[in-house]
Amino acid sequence: MSAVQSTVADVLQVSMFIRKQEADEGITSTDDASHNALIADIFLHEDFDKDGYISHTEFSGPKHEEL
């Protein structure tokens, strides 16, 4: 994986992350339509250049630098 690939997240990666977070928190999975709407909303607000990826720069959540 290149350095560029390791600093971006695509729709599938974000979807899998949300599903894992739900499972870790004991949250019953939402139906697919609600889940897909959530992912679409995340990309609407985070993917500023609309390339289908959320880069480290675009991401507005907490960030940390690799050690």
Per the domain annotation, does 12 fall within a domain? yes
| Residue-range definition of the domain harbouring residue 10 | 5-55
Per the domain annotation, does 64 fall within a domain? no
Per the domain annotation, does 67 fall within a domain? no
* pLDDT, average across residues 7-18: 91
Total domain count, the chain: 1
Residue 66 backbone zone (phi > 0: left; psi -120 to 50: alpha; other: beta): beta
Q: Kindly report the CATH number assigned to the domain that includes residue 15.
A: 1.10.238.10
Q: What is the pLDDT of residue 67?
A: 60
Task: With 0.95 as the threshold, say if the pTM is over it.
Answer: no
**Each residue's pLDDT tens digit, 22-56:** 999 998 877 899 999 999 999 999 999 999 999 98
Per the domain annotation, does 9 fall within a domain? yes
Per the domain annotation, does 47 fall within a domain? yes
Question: Helix axis angle, 32-46 relative to 11-24, nearest 10°?
Answer: 120
- 33 — phi, psi (to 5°)? -65, -45
Cβ neighbours for 33, distance < 8 A, ≥ 6 positions apart? none
